[in-house]
Amino acid sequence: MISIPITLDQLIVTVQQLPPEERAQVARALVQVDLRSDLAALIKEMYAQPPVDDITEDDIIAEIKAVRQQSLKA
């Protein structure tokens, strides 16, 4: 593996010189990195919460109906 030091400005200039489809590939790769870290943080936060054992099927159905009503209003 070859390693070449590059500054952020050099990287930006290089990416700007790429054809549009290759620039889009770089953009998608960057978005995926951010999404993965956001998703990992969300999962970690969810697992840090205490489990909720007192949710009934009726509670779930009521929540689904409420969300559907909000969707219809939007």
Q: Is residue 65 part of a domain?
A: yes
Read off the pLDDT of residues 24-49 as tens digits, 9 standing for 90 and up: 999 888 888 878 888 888 878 877 88
Q: What is the pLDDT of residue 22?
A: 93
Q: Is residue 3 part of a domain?
A: no
The boundaries of the domain holding residue 27 are: 8-73
Q: Is residue 51 part of a domain?
A: yes
Q: What are phi and psi of 48, to 5 degrees?
A: -75, -20
Q: Domain tally for the chain?
A: 1
Of 30, 24, 28, 25, the C-alpha closest to 8 is 30
- Percent of the chain at pLDDT > 70 equals 99
Evaluate the CA torsion angle 22, 24, 25, 31 in order and state its sign. Answer: positive
- Percent of the chain at pLDDT > 90 equals 34
